[in-house]
Each structure stands twice: as structure tokens, then as C-alpha cells.
A and B are shown apart, each in its own frame.
Chain A
Amino acid sequence: MVADRRVPGPVGAERRARLWAVTLDAADPVRAATWYQAALGLSHDEPLVMAGGVELRFATGASHPPGWVEPARIILNFHVGDIRAAEARLVALGAVWARELEATRWGIIGTVLDLDGNYVQIVEPTADSPTCLHRKEDHG
């Protein structure tokens, strides 16, 4: 197990913030939502796509050029129970791979591009992964 050293936060802070949703700017929001549903097997209750307890929202806001100039700036990490099954699903969909499945210290990880060029990673954490990378239910 990798040790996580705690970084002190503000003293006496009485607050609670939840990272509730991620909004992705999409050339075609409906198509993007459908892609996430198909690529990852997520539930899609239009217009929301749910990934665990987090909402994925798709919107067309300011006009962005096609594809990220720096896709590594924000990466969405989806934790899966069976990464080979997740890989097969993405392959069947014809997803573009930025990095094929690879064993790392964080677990087995693969990276694909979504339809708008965002990096989407599938991750199967291992028992040795840092606790922060485990599923919420594994935190106790």
C-alpha cells in the first residue's frame, strides 16, 4: 500500500463541498452523452449520464476548436471492475486509444479519446493502489 501523507487543510473549517458534476463542452451534446453511455455502460436518463454518484453533463457553450490542444489537462478516470470487458466494449465501439492497457503502480489503465477529444481513462485499481484511487465503498 502506498502511504498517503496528509496535507494540512484550513483549521476549523466548517464546510462541505461535493464534486457533484462535470460539464463537458460537446460539439453534439446528445451524441456525446450517447457515446459515454455506450462506451462505458453508464446509465443515461436524458439529459444526465451518471457515473457512480457523479453527473456527466454535456453542453454547447463557447465555440471550442475540435479536439483538445492539451488533453492531459483534465482526465476523467472511470473505475471498472473488469478492465478487459471495458476494453472490449471500447474496441467494439471503435474508440481511439491514446494509451492501450498498461499495468502501472496505480493499477491497470487505458486511455481513449471521447468524441470531443477529452481523455477518458479506464482504471482497474489494484490492492496496492493508493487509497485515494479506490472506489468510495472501499474507503470504509
Chain B
Amino acid sequence: MTVATPALGSILLGTTDPVRLRDWYTAAFAGGDSGVFTEVTPTLFACRFGDTSLLIDGRSDVTDTSPDPGRVILNFHVDDARATAERLDAVGFTWLVELEERDGGLFGTLVDPDGNYVQIIELREG
């Protein structure tokens, strides 16, 4: 019997302000080929980014800002990191690490409004 390997179907971000967090991820990554957030409930939003979905869930068991940022980092791969960075700079996003060349491509780290770390990556071919 073949047993399917589990897939990381979604990553859930718990937040006290799901609308603010949804709007941030929309501005950063949604739209175009990435799809848009759907409203599953008034406090739960979902958007597919490639092979998994990001769920943003309004919850009462978290505080406004992450007490332990960097414990988990979400890595978004984009086609054009410089264009992404320029667009994010134009709307005043906060960089923890600005876009920089490293082995293998371009890397930068953003901080979302809840304090979660979000890495933008453009891998170089080859």
C-alpha cells in the first residue's frame, strides 16, 4: 500500500489583529500570480503562495507582538527581489536585514507588524 507523505498544507499565523496582518502580506506578496487572500471567517484569512497556504487567524492566546521573534522564519522566494524591495521601500516596510548578495542569490529579511521574521529570496540560476 502506498502511503502519501504529509504535505505542509498551511502555516498559520496567530495574531490579535488579523486584518492588519492580512493587509501587510497582501501588500508584500499577494496579487499577481500569487492569488489573493480569501476571507474564510471574519477573523481568518487564507492565501496560497506556491505549494502551501498562509493562514492568518485572529486569536486571543497571543499578544500584539511576538515575544520571541526569529524562532520561526517564513521564506518567500520571488522572481525579482530588487523589484520587490523597491516596491516595499516605497510603502515604508521595515527591513531587519536589507537586501544583500550572498552565495546563491539575493536575501533580505523583513519584520511583519506582529514581529515575525519574513525572508525574501531570489535564488540565482545554477
Contacts and interface: CB of A to CB of B under 8 A. Distances in A.
A61 to B, nearest CB: 6
Contacts of B92: none
Given A7-B26, A81-B3, A13 B40 contact: no
Nearest to B63: A70
A69 B65 CA distance: 12
Given A10-B30, A22-B72, A74 B8 contact: no
Given A72-B62, A73-B62, A19 B76 contact: yes
Interface residues of B, number: 64
B13 interface: yes
A4 B45 CA distance: 9
Interface residues of A, number: 67
A54 interface: yes
B8 A51 contact: yes
A94 B69 CA distance: 28
A119 B76 CA distance: 21
Interface in B55-77: 55, 59, 61-63, 66-68, 70-77
Task: Give the one of A15, A52, A79, A85 with max B CB within 10 A.
Answer: A15
Contacts of B50: 17-20, 53-54
Nearest to B78: A17
Interface of B: 3-15, 22, 26-40, 45-55, 59, 61-63, 66-68, 70-80, 83-84, 114, 116, 119, 121
9 contacts: A6-B36, A9-B26, A9-B32, A9-B35, A15-B83, A19-B54, A23-B72, A53-B52, A70-B62
